[in-house]
Structure 1
Amino acid sequence: MPDSIVIIPTYNEKENIERMIRKVFSLPHDFHLLIIDDGSPDGTAAIVKGLQTEFPERLFIEERQGKQGLGTAYIHGFKWSIQHKYDFIFEMDADFSHNPSDLLKLRQACAEGADMAIGSRYVKGVNVVNWPMSRVLMSYYASVYVRFVTGIDVHDATAGFVCYKRRVLETIRLDKIKFVGYAFQIEMKYTTIKHGFKVVEIPIIFTDRTEGTSKMSTGIFREAFFGVIQMKFNSIFRKYPEGE
């Protein structure tokens, strides 16, 4: 039984999805792929289903109705992956902003003792390509803000390129994860650390998408800004059992 599953949420990613699938499957490790498609009107799901005939034992798709948010897509994927007993469960974007080859580095970090490995843009300087300076600064200082409010020692709290050991996701009460947008990534890291799991940051180079359309919005940033304060406040009254 292969031990690694990569979860990729999609909404209108027809320009990227086939190339991404083929790239992941070309890596020198037997990664499986789970696509969570939120009813893409551009035919993303049809492309994936067409490729399932070529990769019947490695490529899976779960289709949902309408845009339900990044966080709920990952929670859906986490539950599916736990049910299918994968040991290493990954989050990754479809648009090549994350280099699929770095999956190997994240998996190695978890195989060598980490419970959560974060593909980090900021753990060693600022490693972002093709972003306007305004967005680089917003993203960088978002993580500074998260560290200040929550006290967690993570340089890239909003990173969406992550490897979890299955036991982390089995321990976290996934139905209690509140946020669905940008703040989802922060909440997952914060909750993992509060449970006492070992979190490491692996430096990566983040390259902004060249195909398709970004899903970022001011509403997503607003959720993150106010959500961090609310999350910290709520945690005062919550018990986090130590990870087994």
Structure 2
Amino acid sequence: MTKKQESASEAFADGPLKAERKATVKDGKKREKRLDRLRLQGFWPLYASFIALALRPPLSEEHLTLMSLRFVGLGLALLGLGMRIWSLGYLLKKSELATAGPYGRTRNPLYVGTWLIGCGLALLAAWPFNLILLIVYNAMFFVVYRLQIGIEEEMLTSIYGEPYKVYCDNVPRFFPQAKAWHVGAVSRFSLGRAFRNRAWEPVLGLAVLLALQVAAWGLLWPAIKGASLSEAWKGFIAGGWIGP
């Protein structure tokens, strides 16, 4: 047994870590609120760009490679949604450190899910805007969420102390590791817990964004190109949002 494994066994010998004290981080809440405003002001206009720059349906792309990018984007968005629901099913906010399920592969699976959804939505825009948006999105994401994760790690260290550092030593900060880290008794996945943690929000959010993008393909751009609203609507109903 390695020293890391021995430390983990000792730290988690009594089962999942319970939060027995509150976070004590200077200006932690203020810093979080500033980042919340930055996310609101930065990411939602970017999501609007994903929708506006759809331009045409996936099956209308001229080349198979470009068409495939759109379907990869849809797959990434759905994978990210699944990642968030899976993570929320293990999360016991403010009462226990989550280390099971996706938390045994990455310390921030919720943010990994958010990242995948954003990358997927970017790829659903039309060529070449999709790659431009993908680059912009990733640049913004890793700047903002690096700061966010830093604040949260300070808070978790102040709550759980050395055992949290043991967890950090064994599980990567962001990109998931292939082999899950297991330690002691852990909480199990609960779909009810996931929805108590508002798992319906990313489901609804992604559904709305995809619906708006479909509407952009079928209604917005045909109208901009000169079609009357009635013509655009007829084309939309006839499947014009899918492609010729």
TM over 0.5: no
Does 1 or 2 have the higher relative contact order (CA < 8 Å, sep 6+)?
2
Which structure has the greater CA radius of gyration? 2
* Structure with the higher fraction of residues in helix conformation: 2
Query: What is the TM-score when the length of structure 1 is the normalising length?
Result: 0.24
